[in-house]
Structures are given as C-alpha cells and as structure tokens.
Chain A
Amino acid sequence: MVRGDSNRRWRRIFLILAAVVGAYALLAPLTSLDAAQSANIPLLADRLWFRLATITAMFIVMATAWNIIGGITGYAAFGNVAFFGIGAYTTGMLIAKARWPFLVSLPFAPLVAAAFAAFVGLPLLRLRGHYFAVASLGVGVAVGELVQNIDYRGQAVFGGASGLFLPIYATNNRGLFFFYLMLAAAAASIAVTWWVLRSRFGYGLIAIRENEEAAAVLGVNTTAYKVAAFSLAAALTGLAGGIFSQWNVFINQDNAFPIEYNVQMILMALLGGTGTVFGPAAGAVLLQLLIQFLGGTLPISVDIPFVSATARPIVAQIILGVLLVGVVIFVPRGIIDFFGGRTRFSLGYLRRSLRETSL
C-alpha cells in the first residue's frame, strides 16, 4: 500500500535522525576530555554546548515525567515544577547545610519529591479536569513561595530571597560530568516510561484515563494507581531538580520553581505526543532548540528583521505564544504521530485536526 510505504519511510527517517542525534550527544562530549584534546581532536563540545545540552536533557526528564501523570493517566497536572524545586532544595540543603556528599544527597531528591506528591496527591487526585489542573497549579506556586519565605526564628530556613549556595562539585570536567548525569536521568525516564507502558500498571493507568469509572468496576484500584503515577512523575522530576542544584551551584525561588517550566514541559509532551515513550523527549529537544534559537543563545542565530536587540527576547516570547497556539490547534496529537507511521503531515491532516475540535 502506498501509504504504508511512505509511513515506513518516515519512520526510518526518524530512527536515523534519532540515532544520529543520539550518537552526537553521546560522543561529542568526549572530545572535551584532556586525552582527546592532546590528540588534537577538534573540540565539538564547549561550555556553551554542555550548558545547552544539559538543559535539554533536563527538559527531557521533566517532559517525560509529566507524561506519566498527564499523558498516560490523563490527569493534566499544571504544577509539576514544584517537584523540581523540592528535589533541588532537598539535595541543595543536604549538601549546603548538612555537608553530605553530592552523590549521597542526590537519591533523596526523588524520594522527598515522591513523598510530597503522595501527600498532596491523595486529596488532589480526587478532583477532576479543571479543578485538578488549577489546584495542582496552585500547589506548585504555593510551594515555591513557602520555600522562599519560611523563617525559623528570624533566619530564612531555605536561604530565603538570597537563595542557597552550594559548594562547587570537585571533578575534572564538570560540564561533561553533569551532562552525562542528566543524560542518564533522561535515559532512565524514558526507560521507566517504556516499562510502564507495557506493564499491568500502565494498562491500568490508560484505563483510568479513558474511563475511570469503568476501570474501577473492573478492579483497578484507581486511587492507588493515580497516586503512584503522580509520585513516579514527581520522583523523576525531583531527580532532575537534584542534579540541577549541584550543577548550577545556586538555587532560589526563581530558578528552582520557575512557573514557565510548567507550561514548557506540558507543551513539550504535547508537541512530541502525549502517552508515547519518545514523544515528550522529541518535543523537549525540538522546543528547547527553538527557545534557544529565538533567544539568540545558539551559535547559529538569525537576526529577526525590524527588531532591536532589546526587543528580541520579547518577540521570541510572542513567537513562542503563536507556536503554542498553532500546535494546540493544528497538531494536538503531537508530531510523533507522523514518525510513528500512522499519519502523514499534510494540509489534509491539519484541516482534519481543526475540524475535530472546532465548533
């Protein structure tokens, strides 16, 4: 069948693309090792590269994690950045105040984040739709505020407005170390998603998403499953936060609980394809590249005509907004659909998407 052939072709293109990008991501950092440098191998990964790549990997973790509660279980949480911040502050506090080594402090980030998720999840997950979304947003905002402002006997517990400073992690090639660490977290998130989707647990979650009442009378313990999914998403997000805190060496409310992350991780999962294994990751890479490109931080950048340098970030936000609107209207199922071989990207597809959801 003609359509089948072209779909297979797209699938192959995607796999090749993914393999190339993956290989590049894995091997380019090695060129920064001293051994490679003394052998005169060209430097493919400089500090800027490491910074961008680590941030991208971080978003892969967050988008993939969100997908577990939002895409697979169908409970669109809007405050997951709270778990990122909790993870960051957990590790941060253990390192800065308790003076624990980084690699010992790190595992506590996902643990504490998951515990918190289970705690707020029990009441929160009883809500549906709008209520759950905004309640989770509220929790996300409130946690950030609390962490920044809690005082104990006049002293800010978590570092207050001036933030928390961590000692710099002692290692040879910091950029490489943290990149690989974050990449490992990303790989773990994807692996966890893959496992979930073919396990009994995952089927239960999808059943909850499709029809919660039917799932319940068929024997799915919906409360336990929802809380478990929420906690799992929180743990992974918290892990990213934990790594971030040591990597960035400094955390405060603005960089540990940035509200825009909430939307970004959802948009990434949406763009790539909610409910799939690689969708959120693909969306994360794509969107991150776009954001950085528009922000002018990529080595290759294009000057937007008629726009001055100061206005550039504002225009970038506008383009992002337009993109968001466009994606939501025209590509609601995400781009991974095209690469999965099920549909072809065409005007007809765009028109069909539109018809499905418009009045």
Chain B
Amino acid sequence: MTKRFGGVAAVDSVSFEVAGGEIIGIIGPNGAGKTTLLNCISGVYRLDGGDIRWEGGSIAGMAPYRIARLGIGRTFQIVRPFGSMTVRENAAIGALFGSEAARSGPKEAFKQADGVLELVGLAAKASLPVSALTIPDRKRLEVARAVATRPHVLLLDEVMAGLNNVEIDQALDMVRAVHATGVTVLLIEHVMRVIIGVCRRAIVLESGRVLAQGEPEVVLRDERVIQAYLGERYAKRLRHERDQEGPY
C-alpha cells in the first residue's frame, strides 16, 4: 500500500503478508510510517495506491466500522477511552459492536466485557470511572475494548510506550494471553525486548518503506536496521567492533 500526505509518501509501496495465528512486530525509527500503516489497514486513512486484501477480498476504501466488523481490531497510540463511562461499559462497547462474532445485546455484551477484563487484569476495577485509572490501566482497557470485538486480527499501536519494566512484563503476559485465544497480533513497538520476547517475525519500516523482514534477532542485527535507528556512524563503529571481535 501507498499513502501520501501532500508530496510526502508516508507509506511507500509497503507490502507484506500475515498468516493466521502469527504475532508480528512492526518496528522502525520515528516517522517511519508505522502508525500511518495501521491507520490505512483499519480504514482511518484512504490508500493512495495499492490494496489491502483480507481473506481473498479487498478492504481498501472500506469505512472503519466495516473493517471492524470483518474482524480487524485496533488500539490507539494515545488512548481514547469513553470518558463518561465506566471501565466495564468501555469494554462492553467493543462487545456490543465489533466483529460478527461479537455484536450482541447489552446483557450479553456486559458478560463478554467481564470476561475480557479478566483477561487483561482489570476485573477488579470494572465499575470504576475511566478517569480513575492509571496510564498502564488505561492501556489495558484500550486493549480489552479491542479484544471485546472478538477480532481475528488485533493491531496494537505502541501499547508499551511509557510503561516501566514491571509493567512491560505484565503487558507482555497480556499480549500472550490474547494471542493464545487465537487472535493474530500485529504489534507496533519501540521496546525491543517486547519484539524479541513475543514476535515470531519482525518487519522494519524506514521512511515509509520496508527495510527488512524476518526473525527479530536476525533483523535487529542487520546493519541497515542499526543504521536506520542509530545513524551511519554508529553502524560503522559496530561493524568495526564486530570485525575485531570475530563471530561472537
């Protein structure tokens, strides 16, 4: 897919495939186009070129709510809770609408919501107003709400940003738990520990293009990737050090 803003291609002919049940990480320096990519997939942006295919059909140009109905769920980098509702009600919105598997009446939706809150660890805070939640909890709620839509694919946008190490571990467990229920997960992240810890495959974006793809450990050692993140001087230094040290 390709997406342009004015003269700049934020996403430039990015192409990749996702198989069911995978956990894929999308990484890259700031401004690489990761969130734009997510916005294209979830229908928030319209593509300027290319296509997105889902289970054989094209979803490019579909309204966001229809993409959600197909089973593609997402979270927002800066969380967007429904401020005047409780935690439980927030999660229930996902179950009330969402994919074909969800979309139930209020009673059923609240039951589903309870289940999802249990999954992400917010069950104890279900009746609190959203304003009473800490940032990590709000991120959990954001994930819970998206999971409540019973998606086939879940797009997570920098869920780990701003979390300390303990909270990251907890969030990692949460992601694994969600994945274990059969959801395919696409993670945008800056925290490498997360990518290495949970992703089977990583895609590196830079300036709107795919720089590298493959297993996280391999990709992160790729010189081009290091160069993209840290700059050419550091990459050269690293290469020099490696040559000196030998294969280790």
Whose C-beta in chain A lies nearest to the C-beta of B93?
A207
Does A219 lie within 8 Å of B65, measured CB to CB?
A: yes
Does B76 lie within 8 Å of A214, measured CB to CB?
A: yes
Does A200 lie within 8 Å of B81, measured CB to CB?
A: no
Does A219 lie within 8 Å of B80, measured CB to CB?
A: no
What 9 pairs between A and B have smallest CB-CB spacing? Answer: A219-B97, A219-B68, A210-B82, A214-B80, A216-B64, A219-B98, A211-B80, A221-B65, A217-B64
Instruction: Give the distance to chain A from B182, nearest Cβ to Cβ, in Å.
Output: 19
Does B81 lie within 8 Å of A211, measured CB to CB?
A: yes
A203-B106, A218-B94, A219-B68 are contacts. A213–B82 as well, Cβ < 8 Å?
no
Does B102 lie within 8 Å of A219, measured CB to CB?
A: yes
Does A218 lie within 8 Å of B106, measured CB to CB?
A: no
Q: Which of B84-92, B204-212, B235-243 is found at the contact surface with chain A?
A: B84-92
- Cα A220 to Cα B92 in complex, Å, equals 13
- Cα A217 to Cα B62 in complex, Å, equals 11
Q: Which residues of A contact B203 (CB under 8 A)?
A: none
A200-B106, A203-B92, A213-B80 are contacts. A220–B44 as well, Cβ < 8 Å?
no
- Say whether A252 faces chain B, with CB atoms less than 8 Å apart: no
- Say whether A6 faces chain B, with CB atoms less than 8 Å apart: no
Q: Which residues of B contact A317 (CB under 8 A)?
A: none
Does B68 lie within 8 Å of A218, measured CB to CB?
A: yes
Size of the A side of the interface (Cβ < 8 Å), in residues, is: 21
Q: Tell me the residues in window 73-128 of chain B with beta carbons closer than 8 Å to chain A beta carbons.
A: 73-74, 76, 80-85, 89, 92-94, 96-99, 102-103, 105-106, 109
Does B44 lie within 8 Å of A203, measured CB to CB?
A: no
- Say whether A181 faces chain B, with CB atoms less than 8 Å apart: no
Question: What is A's interface to B at a CB cutoff of 8 Å?
Answer: 198-200, 203-204, 206-207, 210-211, 213-223, 275
Q: Which residues of B contact A221 (CB under 8 A)?
A: 63, 65
Most A-side CB within 10 Å, residue of B68, B81, B89, B103: B68
Q: Which residues of A contact B65 (CB under 8 A)?
A: 216-222
Most B-side CB within 10 Å, residue of A199, A204, A218: A218
Whose C-beta in chain B lies nearest to the C-beta of A223?
B63
Does A218 lie within 8 Å of B146, measured CB to CB?
A: yes
A203-B89, A210-B82 are contacts. A219–B149 as well, Cβ < 8 Å?
yes
Does B76 lie within 8 Å of A218, measured CB to CB?
A: no
A200-B96, A206-B82 are contacts. A218–B145 as well, Cβ < 8 Å?
yes
Question: What is B's interface to A at a CB cutoff of 8 Å?
Answer: 42-44, 63-65, 67-69, 73-74, 76, 80-85, 89, 92-94, 96-99, 102-103, 105-106, 109, 145-146, 149
Most B-side CB within 10 Å, residue of A207, A211, A223, A275: A207
Does B68 lie within 8 Å of A217, measured CB to CB?
A: yes
Most A-side CB within 10 Å, residue of B81, B82, B84, B105: B82
- Cα A199 to Cα B92 in complex, Å, equals 12
- Cα A129 to Cα B78 in complex, Å, equals 22
Q: Which residues of A contact B44 (CB under 8 A)?
A: 213, 216-217
Q: Which residues of B contact A223 (CB under 8 A)?
A: 63
A211-B81, A214-B80, A217-B73 are contacts. A204–B97 as well, Cβ < 8 Å?
yes
- Cα A213 to Cα B102 in complex, Å, equals 19
Instruction: Give the distance to chain B from A303, nearest Cβ to Cβ, in Å.
Output: 44
Q: Which residues of B contact A207 (CB under 8 A)?
A: 82, 93
- Cα A239 to Cα B42 in complex, Å, equals 41
- Cα A198 to Cα B98 in complex, Å, equals 18
Instruction: Give the distance to chain B from A177, nearest Cβ to Cβ, in Å.
Output: 38
Does A204 lie within 8 Å of B96, measured CB to CB?
A: yes
- Cα A217 to Cα B76 in complex, Å, equals 10
Does A203 lie within 8 Å of B96, measured CB to CB?
A: yes
- Cα A204 to Cα B97 in complex, Å, equals 8
Query: Which of B74, B97, B105 is A220 in contact with, Cβ under 8 Å?
Result: B97
